[in-house]
Chains A and B, each alone.
Chain A
Amino acid sequence: MNLRTVAALTGLLVALVAVMMLAPLMLALYDGDNNAAFGYATAMAATTLVSVSLRRWGGPQSADIHRKDALGVVALTWLCLGIFGGLPFLVEGSISNVAAAVFEAVSGFTTTGATVVADVDALSRATNLWRCQMHWFGGMGIVVLFVAVFPQLGVGAKHLFRTEVPGPITEGLRPRIKQTALALWWIYAGLTVLATVMLIVAGLPIYDAILHAMSTLGTGGFSSRSASIGAYNNPAVEWIIALFMLVAGLNFGLYYGILRGRWRDFFRNYELRFYLLINVAIIGVVALSIMHLHPAPGDSLRHAAFQTLAVTTTTGFMTEDFERYPDAARYLLLLAMFMGGCAGSTAGGIKASRVYVLFKVALGELRSLVNPNVVRSVRLGSTTIPTSIAWGIVVFVTTYFLIFAVCSLALVAQGLDLITAMSAVVACLSSVGPGLADVGPTQNYGFVPGSGKLLLSFCMIAGRLEIFALLAVFSPECWRR
């Protein structure tokens, strides 16, 4: 790894964070909120200073960015995002604890939506904008944005892009990676605008509509209201948000296909079919199990659909406390947290395609016990999954569960109860946000000890970067020159 290259590029990425802080700063000035304005101006200045220092130390950026450099850039950038994203909270005073501020920022950028703030309504408008803005930029990825807007980085950009974009098979949409990144961002921005307009039409104030559209498309979960979407008590808003949560949980490459007139590919996509099937099944079970809470089938279906999509797309919004649901529904939702959304979406989790392939691999192994001489290929629709990719998926899922086991054990050791610890880890690893019991939809993560918050922040980044990109940085091999 060339540390100077890593520093130079990270410096540029950190500069992007400083630029992002302009929006909340302007809003704070507009609102006449001097405290918030001072918080964002100070954070911006500090971020800019670090960016300039990193650029200076890094020197002129060399043309070649190797795989190891890309890993270093992405890991260091995400570390910086946690620190500098949380700085405004500390300076403004909305969060007083360093670990809590880092947790909130990491939760924002990784689109987890887990919060340490008990009373969100009391936060300044600028801070709520910043929280949702973090979701939006983190959703499609700040490194992807960097690849899209900065001058041609060649193959190095490809390494950067792949390190951040989720999914076992990252398909290029356009020949040049810069154009692919740009196309993804355009689609993402277009959908966000569409969601905003629809929410305004449905009756949400403009500010709330913008915030929730950003949060939804990024599959984040931060809301400007403590009671989340339930606070509006508006079925139209709930259906619109549910729809856009689903939209954000699907592969963005498919939307590009639609724009190019390839409608058939959209409906023929196996991952999409599998994902929709699972969602429909869970929604059905949850809807039936909450009939005693909502006797009208329409209400039951709406709440079930909203809560299920909020979990399977790893957004984490809510319209009601699913802690009140029967155990079967809660357990189903907990299991759905592991899977998450589709590859190439803004959602987290193991991803539907991986679960599907894993299922097929397991089935194949079972069959080979009966017929050991028959050779079968693992197929995803008409595509054969090479053994190396199938093997990679098995290793990924195993590591995912290993991290889940180790981290939940560490939280239990810190005094959290079993259900809280396990659901908190999976909610952070899959970037869902709310878990069960003490970290349920109406609760927050404020009570978790500082070291626990940092551990969960690690889980969030590991989940967002699909584990190996982050774990690789801890390998001595990566640092060898």
Chain B
Amino acid sequence: MKIVIIGGGGVGRYLGTALTEDAEVVVIDRDPANLAEVEDSVDALTLRGDATHRSTLRQAEVHKADLVVAVTGSDTVNVAAAALAADMGALRSVARVDDPGFYETKAAHESQVLGIHAVLCASRLVAAELLRMLTGSDCRHTFSMVGGALHGAIVDVPADSPAIGQPPQRLRTDGSETVRAVIRGSRVRAAADVSEVDEGDGLLTLGPPINVARVVHYVHERHANRVVLIGGGDIGGQLATSLSQFESDVRVVELDRARCESLAAELPKVRIIHGNGTNLAFLRDERIGDSGSMCAVTRSDEVNLMASLLGRELGVRRTFALVHRPGYASVYNHLGIHGTTSAHEVMARTLRWLLPGRRVLGHSALPGTDHEIVELRVPPLRKRRLTARDLPMPPGMLVLGVARESGELLRTDVEIEGGEHVLVVGRAGGQRALDRALSRLAREASD
């Protein structure tokens, strides 16, 4: 497999390192200093040139590439280079576009814009990942699927939960079923087969990040807490928007007065505080220590680290931080910060998910059971009509739903098409059997 990365900056280098195991990597950049750093840190071929010039892309042989990823600092260059690569015959091309105004939906990635296979919004991906981390503190386990567009969580039902006694399928959000299975003891049962939720059950919830967070919040109602975000940039704003849909007390601390005013106009339910997140006296005054969770998401690693440490010192129960240089993550963990994420990590995960040719796209073990959840890509079905239930699954496998790349999770009785994603739960180690079953299906469809 061949991957061409356009942009040899921090993100390009991280992606290069992360993807060299899966593929041969070529990195294009205009700046020789960037390329020298790539040479030193990534086992990849480097090419100096402007990726918006077709001659450069031709030299990089993008027509033979399975994936072209444009991650320079400029949205315009990324879109132009990825569109050119797609036009020149790259199997898949992906562009990083950070301007939220470019997108027509609220999704973290959109498909088929200007012929580009996927346009990724790093700030949305990071905001969704931070939301998963914040939600995860009330859960037994959380995971993300479908390139980060879909979240999953196992939420344990406490004794005083309002969910007790209700049929799990009725714990709906946004009109869609979010609880897809119930873990009782070590057994995993489809939500439809369980009449009512009991104390100690583990509810396997799946859906768009906000829907999963809502169910978790509902099941743990008494644990509702105050969340404070340090930094009101793109990521802070998006995270605040999501949190304000189910948390009653969300606060954003932002240093820039003009940005505060704009946030206050956009987010009426969120309390916007103008101030310095690393000023101890200010944080004390604002009673930040009473918060259940804190998330530091400014553009500076130093500010994020300091703010998280101060928050912890003041008594915040859980602190999370955005890391811009992924190498710093271990330092944060060492200092007791509960979780970190970076644009580099989430983009690498999404890109690995976008790699063509694979049938099993991801999996996550379900703690407390010997089961795992697996994400499969359905092979082209030609004219065959199938629902997810009709898929020839190995025995003991339970189909949970059909996922679209937008993060939408459909029921198992809807008709599926080739290329869609199916989520299956079964005993750990069954991935090979699943892969074989899909290969059989692909063969049958092509006959």
Q: Which residues of A contact B (CB under 8 A)?
A: 67, 154-155, 157-158, 172, 174-179, 386
Our pick among B24, B42, B46 for the contact of A155 (Cβ within 8 Å) is B42
Q: Does B39 contact A (CB under 8 A)?
A: yes
Our pick among B2, B24, B26, B43 for the contact of A154 (Cβ within 8 Å) is B43
Our pick among A175, A178, A386 for the contact of B44 (Cβ within 8 Å) is A175
Which of B41, B43, B45, B46: most chain A CB closer than 10 A?
Answer: B43
Cβ of A253 to closest chain B Cβ, rounded Å: 12
Q: How many B residues are at the interface, by size bracket?
A: 10 to 19
Contacts A175-B2, A175-B24; A158 near B43 (Cβ below 8 A): yes
Contacts A175-B26, A179-B24; A155 near B43 (Cβ below 8 A): yes
* Cα A370 to Cα B2 with chains together (Å): 50
B24 touches A174 (CB 8 A): yes
B40 touches A155 (CB 8 A): yes
B32 touches A172 (CB 8 A): no
A155 touches B41 (CB 8 A): yes
- Please provide the chain B residues from 355 to 369 with a CB less than 8 Å away from any CB of chain A in the complex: none
A162 closest partner in B (C-beta): B39
B45 touches A154 (CB 8 A): no
B45 touches A174 (CB 8 A): yes
A175 touches B40 (CB 8 A): no
Per-residue 0/1 for B14-28: is the Cβ within 8 Å of any A Cβ (1 yes, 0 no)?
Answer: 000000100011100
B25 touches A175 (CB 8 A): yes
* Cα A67 to Cα B39 with chains together (Å): 12
Which of B20, B24, B45: most chain A CB closer than 10 A?
Answer: B45
Our pick among A175, A176, A178, A386 for the contact of B32 (Cβ within 8 Å) is A386
Q: Which residues of A contact B25 (CB under 8 A)?
A: 175
Q: Which residues of A contact B39 (CB under 8 A)?
A: 158
Q: Which residues of B contact A157 (CB under 8 A)?
A: 43
A157 closest partner in B (C-beta): B43
* Cα A200 to Cα B26 with chains together (Å): 42
Which of A67, A155, A158, A175: most chain B CB closer than 10 A?
Answer: A175
Contacts A154-B20, A386-B32; A175 near B41 (Cβ below 8 A): no
Q: Which residues of B contact A (CB under 8 A)?
A: 2, 20, 24-26, 32, 39-46
* Cα A157 to Cα B2 with chains together (Å): 20
Can you show 13 pairs from A to B with CB atoms below 8 A apart?
A: A154-B20, A155-B40, A155-B41, A155-B42, A174-B24, A175-B24, A175-B25, A175-B26, A175-B44, A175-B45, A176-B24, A176-B44, A179-B24
Cβ of A65 to closest chain B Cβ, rounded Å: 11
Cβ of B77 to closest chain A Cβ, rounded Å: 22
At the interface, is chain B mostly helix, strand, loop or mixed?
mixed
Task: Please list the 4 inter-chain residue pairs (A to B) with the smallest Cβ-Cβ separation, ordered nearest first.
Answer: A175-B24, A175-B45, A172-B45, A154-B43
Q: Which residues of B contact A176 (CB under 8 A)?
A: 20, 24, 43-44
Q: Which residues of A contact B41 (CB under 8 A)?
A: 155
Q: Which residues of B contact A179 (CB under 8 A)?
A: 24
A177 closest partner in B (C-beta): B43
Cβ of B132 to closest chain A Cβ, rounded Å: 29
* Cα A158 to Cα B46 with chains together (Å): 13
Q: Which residues of B contact A174 (CB under 8 A)?
A: 24, 45
* Cα A144 to Cα B358 with chains together (Å): 33
Cβ of A53 to closest chain B Cβ, rounded Å: 30
A171 closest partner in B (C-beta): B45
Q: Which residues of A contact B26 (CB under 8 A)?
A: 175
* Cα A175 to Cα B46 with chains together (Å): 8
Q: Which residues of B contact A158 (CB under 8 A)?
A: 39, 43
* Cα A155 to Cα B39 with chains together (Å): 8
* Cα A335 to Cα B40 with chains together (Å): 36
Cβ of A440 to closest chain B Cβ, rounded Å: 43
* Cα A158 to Cα B43 with chains together (Å): 7
Cβ of B48 to closest chain A Cβ, rounded Å: 9
Cβ of B1 to closest chain A Cβ, rounded Å: 10
Q: Which residues of A contact B43 (CB under 8 A)?
A: 154-155, 157-158, 175-178
* Cα A158 to Cα B20 with chains together (Å): 13
Q: Which residues of A contact B44 (CB under 8 A)?
A: 175-176
Cβ of A326 to closest chain B Cβ, rounded Å: 48
Q: Which residues of B contact A172 (CB under 8 A)?
A: 45-46
* Cα A386 to Cα B36 with chains together (Å): 12
Q: Which residues of A contact B46 (CB under 8 A)?
A: 172
* Cα A175 to Cα B2 with chains together (Å): 9
Q: Beyond A155-B41, A155-B42, list 9 extra A-B contacts (CB 8 Å).
A: A67-B40, A157-B43, A172-B45, A174-B24, A174-B45, A175-B43, A175-B44, A175-B45, A176-B24
* Cα A174 to Cα B26 with chains together (Å): 9
A260 closest partner in B (C-beta): B61
* Cα A175 to Cα B16 with chains together (Å): 11
Cβ of B39 to closest chain A Cβ, rounded Å: 7
Cβ of A463 to closest chain B Cβ, rounded Å: 25
Cβ of B170 to closest chain A Cβ, rounded Å: 50
B21 closest partner in A (C-beta): A152
Cβ of A233 to closest chain B Cβ, rounded Å: 48
Cβ of A165 to closest chain B Cβ, rounded Å: 14
Cβ of B25 to closest chain A Cβ, rounded Å: 5
Cβ of A292 to closest chain B Cβ, rounded Å: 53
Q: Which residues of A contact B24 (CB under 8 A)?
A: 174-176, 179
* Cα A174 to Cα B47 with chains together (Å): 12
Cβ of A19 to closest chain B Cβ, rounded Å: 26
Q: Which residues of B contact A155 (CB under 8 A)?
A: 40-43
* Cα A386 to Cα B25 with chains together (Å): 24
Cβ of B50 to closest chain A Cβ, rounded Å: 15
Cβ of A63 to closest chain B Cβ, rounded Å: 12
B46 closest partner in A (C-beta): A172
A389 closest partner in B (C-beta): B32
Cβ of B44 to closest chain A Cβ, rounded Å: 5
Cβ of A156 to closest chain B Cβ, rounded Å: 9
Which of A158, A177, A178, A179: most chain B CB closer than 10 A?
Answer: A158
A180 closest partner in B (C-beta): B45
* Cα A27 to Cα B40 with chains together (Å): 43
Cβ of A144 to closest chain B Cβ, rounded Å: 15
* Cα A264 to Cα B412 with chains together (Å): 58
A178 closest partner in B (C-beta): B43
* Cα A67 to Cα B40 with chains together (Å): 9
* Cα A178 to Cα B32 with chains together (Å): 23
Q: Which residues of B contact A178 (CB under 8 A)?
A: 43
A170 closest partner in B (C-beta): B39
* Cα A158 to Cα B42 with chains together (Å): 9
* Cα A157 to Cα B39 with chains together (Å): 12
* Cα A264 to Cα B314 with chains together (Å): 69
* Cα A378 to Cα B24 with chains together (Å): 32
Cβ of A259 to closest chain B Cβ, rounded Å: 15
A179 closest partner in B (C-beta): B24
* Cα A174 to Cα B44 with chains together (Å): 8
* Cα A108 to Cα B39 with chains together (Å): 32
Cβ of B46 to closest chain A Cβ, rounded Å: 8
Cβ of A152 to closest chain B Cβ, rounded Å: 8
Cβ of B348 to closest chain A Cβ, rounded Å: 16
Cβ of A470 to closest chain B Cβ, rounded Å: 21
* Cα A176 to Cα B45 with chains together (Å): 7
Cβ of B366 to closest chain A Cβ, rounded Å: 30
Q: Which residues of B contact A154 (CB under 8 A)?
A: 20, 43
Cβ of B18 to closest chain A Cβ, rounded Å: 12
* Cα A108 to Cα B252 with chains together (Å): 71
* Cα A175 to Cα B60 with chains together (Å): 10
* Cα A178 to Cα B21 with chains together (Å): 12
Cβ of B360 to closest chain A Cβ, rounded Å: 23
* Cα A222 to Cα B432 with chains together (Å): 55
Q: Which residues of A contact B40 (CB under 8 A)?
A: 67, 155
Cβ of B203 to closest chain A Cβ, rounded Å: 40
B39 closest partner in A (C-beta): A158
Cβ of B19 to closest chain A Cβ, rounded Å: 11
Q: Which residues of A contact B2 (CB under 8 A)?
A: 175
